Structure 1
């Protein structure tokens, strides 16, 4: 039996990210929950980072999709805890990023006993080229089209590509 909440969840899971349209908000791990409260659909999302300029577009797209599916009363809530991590990107989302020529993030930095220490200076990381698979790549800019991505170049195939930064 399909309930209104199940239907609302399935609709919300189809909404794509405005900056990475090959990913749904569910693939990205931004879509946290979909519930029904007092006759309205409540969608909970977490930004990829504080101040993310795409949040307004995400909210509007969720509301538009849910209303088009017959859910008149929709509320989108933002939660900041726990903070979003690139580890929340689904396996399908990582595959879609690579298929679109964007290197998916590796494992997010972790430290069991507290916050991740600030590192001043270059961070050395191995990022495989999403086109040819070579690990011989270099960062050309720490900042890409969005704050979540860096620009890289493959030394093997010489193609430029974007890399979703590990957070």
Structure 2
């Protein structure tokens, strides 16, 4: 019999390969774990359909469960589409502490509009977007006019 609570805990502790300060549970991409016979089926949603980290995440979850002695299969869930609203408060706090400005809860994605973003280093509201795309496509690159530091902003999706 599969211990689904343990399987979800093990899967949920897998770090995001692009932002290792947060787990897949923090990001809200772990949609659930169900039993299919003697196998735990882990349901994951990519942050967007073209996310280059999706396969790495799936393999890391599968390996973590295998290492924990839990037979598992990964199921990619595309609907409903993942949204930044699914990032947990703990995940938002971890992003901030890591130096990435988290998306505004309930924020709207706007193509090429630069949202007002506080600097995660000093908290200043005096920031400017440098580039629509940062270190990954889901982030924009900003600069703080207060402390002068560059930082990423996790865009609303």
Task: Tell me the CA shift for residue 13 of structure 1.
Answer: 1.1
1:61 matched residue in structure 2: 60
Structure-1 separation of matches of 2:114 and 2:142: 13
Maintained 8 Å contact 1:85/1:108: no
1:93 matched residue in structure 2: 91
User: Where do 5+ consecutive residues of structure 2 fail to align?
Assistant: none
**TM-score, normalising length: structure 1:** 0.89
RMSD, matched Cα: 1.5
Kindly report which structure 2 residues correspond to 1:1-167, keeping only aligned pairs within 5 A, or say none.
4-71=3-70, 73-109=71-107, 122-167=112-157
Structure-1 separation of matches of 2:146 and 2:72: 49
Task: Tell me the CA shift for residue 4 of structure 1.
Answer: 1.2
Alignment size in residue pairs: 156
Maintained 8 Å contact 2:114/2:129: no
1:113 matched residue in structure 2: none
Rg larger for: 1
**TM-score, normalising length: structure 2:** 0.94
